Chain A
Amino acid sequence: MKRMLRTYGWELLLVVLIVLAGIWSSFLSPYFLDPVNLFSSAGFFVIFALMAFGLFPIILQGEIDISLASTLAVGSVLLGKLSQLGFPLAVALPIVLIICGILGAVNGLLVAVVGLPSLAVTLGTMGAYRGIAYLFAGDAGVTTIPPAYVSLGSSWIGIVPMTVVLAIAVGIVFAVLTTSTRFGRNSYAIGNSASASRLAGVSVAATRVAAYALAGVASGLAGYVWLAQYQSARGDNADGSILFVITAVVLGGVSIKGGSGRALGVALAILLLGTIQTGMKLANIPGTSQTLVIGALLVGSIGIPRIVQIVRGRIAAPRPAPKIDVDVRREEATQESKRTA
């Protein structure tokens, strides 16, 4: 029991917060706990969940990808165009997923093979992929979508929207990938120390490229959900949503430095953010004010344990500051990236 508490402490904390947020939301509005409301609100967060699951292995490896929302836009616009050209969904969707996977792999190659810093690379491709989306979409975007393409957005299993089922399925796939495959084990190893992993015979570059390609595919899938939910696709789809996605992954307990975190945590973080946002929306709190709570949650989730640690350290016998460890690690990481460069 104690071991389980220690291992899944973060996830338990998230569950407690979700319950608290749920209680608070149901005080704000009596309609919150209505199952139909709950599940239809959940549908709104599927797009973010898919991108967050895709981003998860990348952050696990100690890298970042801020181009995913642009990849989503390429996916949704391309799928919309293919639908207008008369392709059946069963042909168009795989094409789109492969292209989005290639876009992700390009990021991966620039990061892992050329050795460029991932933040800067994906800052560049964020613009470039957004440009590609605009190129396909034109000024008007795609608006008339055949019913076969959008049926996902309006089909339900009981009271659960199909898109939520899809998100859960993708979450399970990423959970299995990271816990039970060589790719997953290598991802944790690379996140802890890329140079040690290389010496141990792990193909660091291939694992990184795979993670980026997977994230591209997940974003393409999110593009499909976007098209099905909103029945239109434009070049500016999901613009600016990447910061929310990163917040979800980090809040899910995935260390931004890499090496630790679980898919379950990411899923719970999305659920928590979704609960808070839905509750605040019901209470008529505007979207930009909601960010105050989300930002505080993000900083607090990492900062408060640290404050507790500092206060404890002050009370207990003075020990050498633990700062140095972190700095040494940071230094190692810098040198590592410089060496791969």
Chain B
Amino acid sequence: MSNPTAVTRRRLSLGGSTSALRVRFLGVVIFLAILVIAFSLLSPQFFTLGNGRSVLFTAAILAIAAAGQSLVVLTGNLDLSVGSIMGLTAYVVFDLAGKNAALQPFVVILALAIGALLGFINGVFVTVLQIPSIVATLGTLSIYRGFVSVYANAKEVTSGTLPPWMRALATQVWLGLPSYVWISAVIIAIVAVALTRLPWGRKIYAYGSNPKAARFYGLSSTRIVIGAYVGAGMIAAIAGLLLGAQVGNINSLLANGIELQVLAAVVIGGVSIWGGSGSVIGAAIGAVVLATINNGLVLLEVQEFYRLLIQGAAIIAAVWVDAIVQRRVIGSGTRRRIMEVES
């Protein structure tokens, strides 16, 4: 009885056959459109090519981090350690590449390995040790950050240790857009395809929408959740590397506190905080929404108050819409009701 539910929900989020789920994704797009129109009317500088580039550039790294975070959120968990993973990876990679020039061609692989390890640790804490994800990743947020702080010993490293092509990336423009925007788009596309086409991704949706049904279906919850955390860790590591290359001289505090921004992007992007539904493209648009709000309000020279207020309101509005959608999806699927009674 449980299996059909997982399958039904999977189909819903895949094909978008239920209008309610489509409404949520459309909601983010419409919200972004309204923001763009409003800012364009209010400020003549907003709707220019240069400014559009700058919005996308600021959104790029946040969007990558949000893509990683959505993997974990889709399983019904959280990763608060994303900022610490970014900071740790950037610092350690820069430092190692500086000490040993032979490592320079392998900086990306090195970063991916570190990110995978940190994500694996998160996943083990959540699955094997069964520590609730919010507590486990709150712990690793402190542990990873503390580790960089001890490792760095109050020193700074510079992106000068990176291979030249990596340093140049931060300022390059490809086909009219900053290179980071393209990199971000490619990463998001890879994650989106992996989530919708690969068994790895389909299992994440199946597990997230109904963990118990997924278990009865023979899926290993441990493997799925650890897989999501490892993926999230690797993506966060890349985001950290890019941020480090952009900033230049970094200390142990790089990307400190970014986790709540990332979470906000994911929530605004329509990824359900209950797990199981939402898309990585939505999360990326959520990051663009946040960047647009910041950029537009800076141009309008309004106070910090409005920026925080609009951001906060956007988050609450997004979960409100999500709650309505959830209710409609559950209401339309009588099977789910039957299952609830049986369990």
Contacts and interface: CB of A to CB of B under 8 A. Distances in A.
A332 to B, nearest CB: 8
B211 A128 contact: no
B135 A291 contact: no
Nearest to A116: B319
B320 A298 contact: no
Interface string B307-333: 111011111101110010011001000
Contacts of B257: 240
A124 B150 CA distance: 33
B292 interface: no
Nearest to A334: B274
Contact of B146 (A110, A292, A339): A292
Given A293-B146, A341-B327, A127 B215 contact: no
Interface in A306-325: 306-307, 310, 323-324
B132 A257 contact: yes
B184 interface: no
A154 interface: no
Interface in A284-341: 286, 288-296, 298-299, 302-303, 306-307, 310, 323-324, 326-328, 330-332, 334-335, 337-339, 341
A115 interface: yes
Given A247-B142, A334-B274, A131 B267 contact: no
Interface of A is mostly: helix
Interface in A123-181: 123-132, 134-135
A110 B316 contact: yes
Interface residues of B, number: 63
A292 B142 contact: yes
B253 A330 contact: no
A193 to B, nearest CB: 14
Nearest to A136: B305
A243 interface: yes
Given A134-B305, A135-B303, A247-B138, A120 B211 contact: no
Contacts of A294: 142, 146
Contacts of A19: none
A204 interface: no
Contact of B129 (A123, A135, A292, A306): A306
Nearest to A335: B340
Interface in B250-264: 252-253, 257, 260, 263-264
Contacts of B340: 335, 339
Contacts of B69: none
A22 interface: no
A131 B130 contact: no
A341 B326 contact: yes
A240 B212 CA distance: 36
A295 B135 contact: no
B312 A126 contact: yes
B145 A288 contact: yes
Nearest to B136: A299
Contact of A243 (B138, B221, B264, B275): B138
A123 B274 contact: no
A149 B82 CA distance: 40
Central interface residue in A125, A257, A331, by most chain B CB within 10 Å? A331
Contacts of A72: none
Contacts of A327: 211-212, 215, 221
A256 B210 contact: no
A300 to B, nearest CB: 8
Interface in A232-257: 235, 240, 243, 246-247, 250, 256-257
B98 to A, nearest CB: 21
Contacts of A132: 305, 309
Contacts of B134: 64, 119, 246, 256
B58 to A, nearest CB: 17
Given A124-B313, A334-B76, A131 B305 contact: yes
A328 to B, nearest CB: 6
A21 interface: no
Contact of A289 (B146, B308, B319): B146
Contacts of A114: 320, 323
Nearest to A302: B131
Contacts of B312: 124-129, 131
Contacts of A323: 130, 221
A123 B315 contact: yes
Contact of B273 (A120, A286, A310): A120
A221 interface: no
A327 B76 CA distance: 12
Contact of A130 (B210, B263, B308, B313): B308
Nearest to B320: A116
B323 A292 contact: no
Contacts of B305: 131-132, 134-135
B118 to A, nearest CB: 13
Contacts of A124: 264, 311-316, 319
B140 interface: yes
Contacts of A246: 134, 138
A182 B263 CA distance: 36
Contacts of A112: none
Interface in A193-248: 235, 240, 243, 246-247
Interface in B144-173: 144-150, 154
A314 B257 CA distance: 40
A126 B313 CA distance: 10
B57 interface: no
B275 A334 contact: yes
Nearest to A244: B142
A52 interface: no
21 contacts: A64-B134, A116-B319, A119-B78, A123-B263, A127-B308, A128-B312, A131-B307, A132-B305, A243-B142, A246-B134, A256-B132, A288-B252, A289-B149, A292-B142, A292-B145, A302-B131, A306-B129, A323-B221, A324-B215, A328-B343, A334-B76
Interface of B: 76, 78, 80, 125, 128-132, 134-136, 138-150, 154, 210-212, 215, 221, 252-253, 257, 260, 263-264, 267, 273-275, 303-309, 311-316, 318-320, 323, 326-327, 330, 340, 343
Q: Which 3 A-B pairs have the closest CB atoms?
A: A292-B146, A295-B142, A128-B312
